[in-house]
Structure 1
Amino acid sequence: MKTNKVQAVFRVILGAFMILAAIGHMTFQRGEFQAQVPNWVPLSKDLVVILSGIVELILGLAMIFWVKQEVKVGMALALFYVLIFPGNIAQYTNEIDAFGLDTDRKRLIRLFFQPVLILWALWSTGALRYLFGKKETNG
């Protein structure tokens, strides 16, 4: 599935954001990310943050460099965003301050950005068109 230059630019930007988030998971924002891990997750919060950081790094690099499989990478990233959404919900429902989200209103507004990220991942890789339109493969 061919994407245009605008989609490619947005794909690379999203990949770069994912790499930056991965670095934050493993270094300077580790505590903030731990605050988003729901209490019901049966692993240590630090382990979850490290593992999700590794996944983010892989997905970020794939968004930038694995162009031949961009539709699959876009779907994988969208799925990742769906899987981490309970952490955002937990941050809101448990009134946890992290990432400058120090009011219920800010935490609630943050919830509405997750669908934007999902759509960004799907659109910028051609996965949205693949899922809802012409089903040609890209590699």
Structure 2
Amino acid sequence: MARTVLALAYGIAGAAHLARPGGFVAITPDWVPEPELVVALTGAAEIAGAIGLMIPPLRKAAGIGLALYALCVWPANFHHALSDIGLNGVHLSWWYHGPRLALQPIIIWWALWASGVTDWPLGRED
């Protein structure tokens, strides 16, 4: 169940990156080259990881890839929060940013656990 929920979340997020990249481009730090291309590639990576989670021979590789992905996009989340970047004219408060930043390590763990890379601390998902 946890694997399916994670795969759905990443699939939806990946589709959003591809369908509506503007908000993702807006929160991309200035030091990232070609932000439009990076956002498109990250959307494709999310979709590929979501699919990979559901295919047993690819599951562990997908989990590692999604965990690394979540780690690599964390700077964009910090940039979004610390620079107070508004999306469609809406500035989000720390009630949004705080939990989002704090939950990123859990999302990283979730990808590793749901894919069977680790069984700590809950045992196996299967």
Bucket of the pairwise TM-score, normalised by the shorter protein: 0.7 to 0.9
Q: Is 1:19–2:11 an aligned residue pair?
A: yes
Q: 1:47 to 1:69 in 2, by over 3 A?
A: closer
Counterparts of 1:21 and 1:41, CA distance in 2: 20
Alignment of 1:79-98 (within 5 A): 79-98=68-87
Paired AA for residue 84 in structure 1 = V
Shift of 1:101: 6.0
Shift of 1:119: 1.2
Shift of 1:120: 0.9
Paired AA for residue 78 in structure 1 = A
Would you say the 8 A contact 2:50–2:62 is kept in 1?
no
Paired AA for residue 99 in structure 2 = I
Paired AA for residue 37 in structure 1 = T
Equivalent residue for 1:41?
A: 32
Identity %: 28
How many residues end up aligned between the 2 structures?
120
Q: Is 1:127–2:117 an aligned residue pair?
A: yes
Equivalent residue for 1:32?
A: 23
- Is there any run of 5+ residues in structure 2 with no aligned partner, and where? 122-126
TM-score by length of 2: 0.83
- Report which of the two structures shows the higher radius of gyration computed on alpha carbons: 1
Poorly superposed stretches of 4+, deviation over 6 Å? none
Shift of 1:104: 3.4
Paired AA for residue 90 in structure 1 = H
Q: Is 1:75–2:70 an aligned residue pair?
A: no
Would you say the 8 A contact 1:78–1:117 is kept in 2?
yes
Greater RCO (CA < 8 Å, at least 6 residues apart): 1
Paired AA for residue 75 in structure 1 = I
Q: 1:86 to 1:95 in 2, by over 3 A?
A: same
- Is there any run of 5+ residues in structure 1 with no aligned partner, and where? 1-8, 133-139
Counterparts of 1:70 and 1:42, CA distance in 2: 30
Would you say the 8 A contact 1:97–1:103 is kept in 2?
no
Equivalent residue for 1:4?
A: none
- How well do the aligned residues superpose, as a CA RMSD in angstroms? 2.1
